[in-house]
Structure 1
Amino acid sequence: MAVMALEPQTQEDTLLEGFLALETPEGFRAELIDGEIVVTPPPGGPHEHNTAKIISQLTRNSPVELDVSGHKGLAIPSREKDGTPGRLIPDLTIALGEQDLYGEATSWMSPEGVVMVVEVTSTRAERDREEKRRCYARAKIAHYLLVDRGQQVVTLFSEPEDGDYHATVWVPYGKALALPEPFDFELDTSRFI
């Protein structure tokens, strides 16, 4: 009888396995952000109001066809070489329509081909401002749009390099924010709440 030696699981493997087996209540979402499991309740009305305003402007004003997914799971590289890979669910994930990125995507797809992610802050805004920003930069997502309801500003982060974004443009609510190619239009923030 042959005996097979099993390699012991690392703490990172155990965390990822436990996360993937997690069953959250209906409507809740679970994310694995820099080694921490975060469970959030369904978003409230003001949050969804802002995402709806962004979706309508993206589809109406962009010169290219975009595919917009709400709450698509992304597998994000770890901040450490051998650390636990992240699992984030942006409020919006945007890709070029010609790529058909979501057609064959798994639950936790690679961020390759994603041109922008959007987060609208809720109860733990600091996580969106700091931790998620660095996660999306590590994943080399070209643009991260943050609608900060607490500070009433909209920020576009771009030029991801070395685990963070190196270009930032922000406007207060009510001002237009110029979105670069491939979007190439001014985002109207006057109706954000």
Structure 2
Amino acid sequence: MAADTEHDPRCAEERALLEGFLELDTPQGYRAEFIEGEIVVSPPPIGDHEYAFSIITTQVIRKAGVDMDISGHKGLELARGKRCTSNFVIPDGVFAPSELKIFRGAESWMPPDGVAMVFEVTSGKPDRDRKVKRYCYAKAGIPLYLLVDRTERTVSLFSEPDPPEEDYLEDVRVIFGKPIELPDPFGFSLETADFH
């Protein structure tokens, strides 16, 4: 962040809010995130949400071109972009090549170095996954973002992050039932019929 924002009252407020966020003690099963200067608390996911998680992770384990480590609900500390503070985001799923061992010894909040793909399955507030989290992942340089949109009944793959623009350059979208190609290091077609 530029030096001229050091004394900006909005930045001071955002940093104070971040300090409070980092001290939160959320109820068991709930997730607390700090996204674009706001604290977001989400309840435990419903069964259909977790079923979509299972479909994705099972296919990656069975079909990916390389062995992948998978973490459900891993805290990532992401680049702040034009904000005063970092974003603290918990994707529904995080994949990284097993050879990197990025989860071993990781703190609660880790940098996204080595992450190959994150994914989200929409729930109560889908616009957060469609836009805000997408921009956070892009500005952090995460190569792939897979979005299962249960409301729209689509699966989108965002690729080619452009951190200065805070978005992805490529967006491929299919309706439930159509396969979507996951590029290397995954190298397979993700079947989406079971998302119905």
TM tier, smaller: over 0.9
The CA distance in 1 between the partners of 2:175 and 2:96, in whole Å, is: 26
Structure 2 counterparts to residues 127-146 of structure 1, below 5 A? 127-146=128-147
CA contact (8 A) 1:34 1:79 kept: no
8 Å contact from structure 1 (residues 74, 89) kept in 2: yes
The code of the aligned residue for 1:12 comes to: E
Structure-to-structure mapping, 1:73-112, within 5 angstroms: 73-80=75-82, 83-112=84-113
Q: Give, in angstroms, the shift of residue 130 of structure 1.
A: 0.3
CA distance in 2, matches of 1:38, 1:77: 18
| Structure 1 counterpart of 2:3 | none
- Check if 1:59 corresponds to 2:61: yes
Secondary structure of 1:171's match?
strand
How far off is 1:171 after superposition? 0.6
Report the alpha carbon displacement of residue 15 of structure 1 after superposing the two structures with TM: 1.4
Identity of paired residues, percent? 50
Alpha-carbon distance between aligned partners in 2 of 1:48 and 1:101, rounded to the nearest angstrom: 23
Q: Aligned AA for 2:81?
A: R
Q: What TM-score, normalized to structure 1? A: 0.93
Tell me which residue corresponds to 2:183.
180
Structure 1 or 2: more helix by fraction = 2
Q: Deviations over 1:59-99 (max 9, x none)?
A: 00012000010000000111326x12110000000100000
Quote the offset at 1:10 in angstroms: 2.5
Q: Specify the alignment match of 1:152 in structure 2.
A: 153
CA contact (8 A) 2:65 2:184 kept: no
Q: Do the aligned residues in 2 keep the contact of 1:76 with 1:87 (CA within 8 Å)?
A: yes
Where does the alignment leave 5 or more consecutive residues of structure 2 unmatched?
A: 1-6
Q: TM-score, normalised by structure 2?
A: 0.92
Q: Please give the alpha-carbon distance, in whole angstroms, between the structure 2 residues aligned to 1:64 and 1:16.
A: 37
Q: Is the 8 A contact 1:77 1:139 kept in 2?
A: yes
Name which of 42, 49, 52 aligns with 2:51. Answer: 49
8 A Cα contact 2:70 2:94, kept in partner? yes
CA distance in 2, matches of 1:147, 1:66: 20
Give 1:12 deviation, angstroms: 2.9
Whether 1:28 and 2:68 are equivalent positions in the alignment is no
Separation (CA, whole Å) in 1 of partners of 2:107 and 2:175:
36
Q: Please, which runs of 5 or more residues in structure 1 have no aligned partner?
A: 1-6
Q: Give the match for residue 3 of structure 1.
A: none
Shift of 1:107: 0.5
Which runs of 4 or more aligned residues in structure 1 lie more than 6 Å from their structure 2 counterparts after TM superposition? none
Q: Secondary structure at the match of 1:10?
A: helix
CA RMSD, aligned part only?
A: 1.5
Q: Distance in 2 between matches of 1:123 and 1:12?
A: 25
CA distances 1:148-185 after superposition (whole Å, capped 9, x unpaired): 00000000000000210000111100000011000000
